[in-house]
Homo-oligomer: A and B are copies of this chain.
Amino acid sequence: MALDHRPRPATQSDVAREVGVSRTLVSFAFRGAPGVSDETKQAIFDAAKRLGYRPNAVAADLARKHRSAVGLYLMDIRNEVYADILSGVRTALHQDRNRLILSVSRSVDGEDQGALESLMEARVGIIIAATLLDSDERAQELAKLVPLVSVTRRIEGVDSVHSDDAAGARAATEHLIRLGHTRIAHLAGPAYDGHTVRRESYAKTMRDAGLKPLTLAAEDFTQDSGERAAARLLGMADRPTAIFTHNDQLALGAREAAYAGGLSVPADLSLVGYDNSRTSRLHGIDLTSVDLHAVELGRRAGVAALNRLMDPEAPIADERLLPELVVRNSTAPPREGS
């Protein structure tokens, strides 16, 4: 067998025995607690190195009746926004010695029990969730079991750091109205509690401008489902001349549907996405999109988690960032007569 014999990992006791001290001293030494002479400390570290000892954080947590790991739930690993949030969370957590346990939603099927469950099983001390698919109610229940920080979505009674979706959707819609579009559709995601703000803001903005809103919900948040939904929109008799989508992936799907139908962007169809992903910035894609500053969102969520861990009694955090519309080349005035 090429595999070497894997010896049972060294424990505190092994180190203590090797040095000839008690386990307590080893424990103290590794946690930097006072009460261990420098010599002893050196001897302990040397022995530990020799034996290949590494503290068992899991057992330590158990003994301490305390949970040091922070769990991060991500709805969609294929969406850059979540990668950005991860980056942000990490920079915030970097200082502390916290372990970060990631968990990704299995599929975008409207419930994240599996992923959340695995975080609970791993016995994390707090969960940062981006973006919860569950209802507000279930989220609030979850928060009773373990501290919860919701990113990207505001939940009453739960630490939340989110982006002003109403403002973002309004900016996107107004941009299209200002260009002269009147038949502006909205390609929404599935209608979960956390995802209604953008569609409502879109509808309100349309009505305020005297226009008729037209919202179609995609099956999920993927490019494929965006393409399917947009194909339906573009097949209508009075097809829209502009579409504002819930996220960039849906927008890219709509873009494919347009080209598949012989339409081009922005000449025949204006498109506004949401997320300002890297792909949206590619030459030839040039997607107008709303940037919700995901890295910063993640960073703040990390800070909020740290705060909550330090003070369980602190008031509920509720932070809101302002998104920003980035205008590129996927939007233009509608063609004459269309």
- Footprint of B on A, CB under 8 Å? 1-4, 6, 9, 52, 54, 56-59, 61-62, 69, 77-78, 80, 83, 86, 90, 99-104, 106, 118, 120-123, 143-147, 157, 223, 252, 255-256, 259-260, 278-279, 282-285, 312-313, 315-316
Contact = CB atoms under 8 A, between A and B. Distances in A.
Given A122-B69, A122-B101, A313 B1 contact: yes
A282 B223 CA distance: 10
Contacts of A59: 62
Contacts of A284: 259, 284-285
A122 B58 contact: yes
Contact of A144 (B4, B78, B90): B4
Contact of A62 (B62, B86, B259, B278): B62
A270 to B, nearest CB: 16
Most buried by B among A3, A146, A282: A3
A252 B284 CA distance: 11
A223 B279 CA distance: 10
Most buried by B among A1, A90, A102, A103: A102
Contact of A255 (B120, B147, B282): B282
A103 B106 contact: no
B78 A83 contact: yes
Copies in the complex: 2
Contacts of A57: 121-123
Given A57-B121, A77-B83, A102-B102, A316 B62 contact: no
Contact of A86 (B2, B77, B86): B77
Given A56-B123, A78-B83, A99-B122, 8 more contacts: A3-B313, A6-B147, A57-B123, A59-B62, A77-B86, A90-B106, A255-B283, A259-B284
A211 to B, nearest CB: 29
B100 A86 contact: no
A273 B239 CA distance: 37
Given A1-B315, A59-B62, A100 B78 contact: no
6 contacts: A6-B146, A58-B61, A223-B278, A252-B282, A255-B282, A259-B283
Q: Can you list the 5 inter-chain pairs with the closest CB atoms, starting with the nearest?
A: A102-B102, A284-B284, A259-B283, A2-B157, A57-B121
Given A77-B83, A100-B118, A62 B58 contact: yes
Nearest to A6: B144
B278 A3 contact: no
A54 B9 CA distance: 29
Contacts of A52: 145
A69 B86 CA distance: 22
